[in-house]
């Protein structure tokens, strides 16, 4: 009975203490909320209602009332950068950095954040030299990984491939991404540049490093064939280019014409044409079809080209294939039929322009030109030589 009576006396005391603590917290919150300008709450309301323009105006007004509101400045700068108003974002973040240099009122984390945000502003604005300077300063801080990724993007934009390789190597110790594919592509960029200037030894060295980084690098295989071709090693070039089928048959379109030239040089034109026909039968491709039709036209004339397109169109009906069929048919048609065929071809060609673009596997970016690196998302080998129509027809 004594224990139960003790609990009866203590429980009301606990309730009383809890009530007092709650009252103190509520008064503290009310006091803090009254200290904030009304425009701050208006800005939050606009953000919640997805009205960024009005939110920015409200936050600007709040910043005028209380210029020491650091987090509010970060919010404003981020909003401006997302809207593409990088000049205004730069002014806000630069003002924070300069004020800290004068007064030293920012915490260490706020100081690093302000520099990081300013670097992102410069990067978005294309001021790469200024962005690079800031991100180098951020090395070794809490934003080290972000700084490395930003520097990697800068060096890729500036085509500073050797520096990009060094940064990607450091990023290998951060997170799960090993950056092997990117490092291989950077070496391929260096190899392509050396090959263009006739520096075959340097080209070979970079290609070896690319394959060491990524043994499945298709581009390195293609460049090995290009290097052999530049050294008049026709058989070596053919051997390299034919390896592309085992790596990724989609990229055969990039080496088909080269293979045909190499077989012609070796005096094996018919063998080269048979190889391309076999590729087309096994791996349907509109770009590959284009090369095969040109080779058929040169070897057997318009009738052979027409038969080739007709057979492929029966296997894989496409608008682009029909366009090529009409083009081949114009050559073999009687003169009185050619105007009608040309009219049909022009009508179809107007539609094929929309479905004849390349598309990134990663982000869906479309363009008429092939890229090893997607201009939109920056992915390497995510932009295969396949037309949009082929994506649409694929299961």
What is the C-alpha separation between 273 and 330, in angstroms, rounded? 23
Pairwise CA distance, residues 173 & 152, whole Å: 14
According to the model, what pLDDT value does residue 18 have?
A: 55
Instruction: Please check whether residue 361 is in contact with residue 384, taking contact to mean a CB–CB distance below 8 angstroms.
Output: yes
For residue 179, count other CB atoms closer than 10 A to its CB.
21
Class of domain 67-171: mainly alpha
Torsion of CA 28, 30, 34, 38, to 10 degrees: 130
- CATH number corresponding to 181-242: 1.25.40.10
For residue 115, give both structure tokens. Answer: 């520099």
Token pair for 262: 């190499």
Q: Please state the pTM of the whole predicted model.
A: 0.78
Q: Is the dihedral of CA 312, 315, 320, 326 positive or negative?
A: positive
Task: Give which of 200, 181, 180, 182 is closest to 191, Cα–Cα.
Answer: 200
Using 50, 70 and 90 to split pLDDT, how confident is the model at 351?
A: confident
Q: Which residue has the higher pLDDT, 59 or 10?
A: 59
pLDDT the model gives residue 9: 52
Q: Which pairs count as long-range contacts for 197-202, CB under 8 Å and 24+ apart, including other chains?
A: 198/230, 200/227, 200/230, 200/231
What is the average per-residue pLDDT within 325-343?
81
Q: What average pLDDT score do residues 84-105 get?
A: 79
Q: What value does the mean pLDDT take over residues 322-343?
A: 81
Check residue 204 and give its pLDDT. Answer: 97
Least confident of 52-66, 222-236, 263-277: 52-66
- 59 token code pair: 């936050």
| 259-270 pLDDT per residue, tens | 999 999 999 999
Annotated binding site for Fe cation: 360, 363, 374, 377
Binding residues: 360, 363, 374, 377
The pLDDT, as a whole number, for residue 266 is: 95
Give dist(CA 325, CA 86) in Å, integer: 51
Average pLDDT over the chain reads: 82
Token pair listed for 259: 């293979």
Whether residue 236 is predicted with pLDDT greater than 70 in this model: the reply is yes
Q: Percent of the chain beyond pLDDT 70?
A: 79
């Amino acid at each position: 009975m004594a224990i139960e009576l003790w609990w009866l006396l203590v429980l009301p005391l606990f309730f009383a203490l809890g009530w007092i603590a709650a009252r103190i917290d509520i008064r503290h919150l009310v006091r803090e909320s009254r200290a904030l300008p009304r425009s701050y709450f208006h800005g939050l309301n606009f953000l919640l209602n997805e009205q960024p323009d009005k939110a920015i105006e409200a936050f600007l007004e709040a910043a005028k009332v209380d210029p020491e509101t650091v987090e509010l400045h970060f919010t404003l700068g981020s909003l401006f950068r997302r809207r593409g108003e990088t000049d205004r974002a730069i002014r806000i973040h630069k003002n924070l950095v300069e004020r800290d240099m004068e007064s030293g009122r920012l915490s260490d984390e706020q100081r690093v954040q302000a520099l990081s945000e300013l670097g992102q502003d410069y990067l978005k604005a294309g001021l790469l030299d200024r962005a690079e300077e800031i991100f180098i300063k951020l090395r070794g801080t809490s934003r080290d990984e972000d700084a490395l990724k930003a520097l990697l993007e800068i060096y890729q934009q500036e085509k500073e491939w050797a520096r990009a390789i060094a940064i990607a190597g450091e990023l290998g110790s951060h997170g799960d991404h090993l950056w092997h594919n990117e490092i291989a592509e950077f070496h391929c960029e260096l190899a392509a540049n050396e090959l263009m200037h006739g520096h075959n030894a340097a080209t070979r060295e970079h290609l070896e490093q690319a394959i060491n980084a990524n043994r499945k690098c298709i581009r390195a295989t293609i460049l090995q064939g290009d290097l052999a071709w530049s050294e008049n090693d026709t058989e070596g070039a053919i051997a390299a280019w034919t390896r592309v089928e085992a790596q990724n048959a989609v990229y055969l379109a990039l080496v088909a014409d080269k293979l045909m030239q190499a077989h012609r040089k070796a005096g094996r034109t018919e063998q080269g044409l048979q190889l391309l026909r076999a590729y087309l039968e096994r791996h349907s491709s509109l770009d590959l079809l284009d090369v095969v039709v040109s080779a058929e036209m040169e070897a057997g004339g318009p009738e052979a080209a027409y038969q080739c397109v007709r057979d492929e169109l029966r296997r894989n009906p496409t608008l682009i294939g029909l366009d090529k069929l009409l083009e081949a048919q114009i050559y073999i048609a009687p003169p009185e039929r050619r105007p009608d065929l040309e009219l049909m071809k022009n009508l179809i060609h107007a539609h094929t322009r929309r479905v004849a673009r390349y598309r990134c596997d990663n982000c869906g970016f479309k363009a008429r030109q092939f890229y090893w690196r997607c201009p939109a998302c920056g992915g390497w080998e995510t932009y295969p030589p396949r037309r949009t129509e082929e994506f649409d027809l694929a299961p």
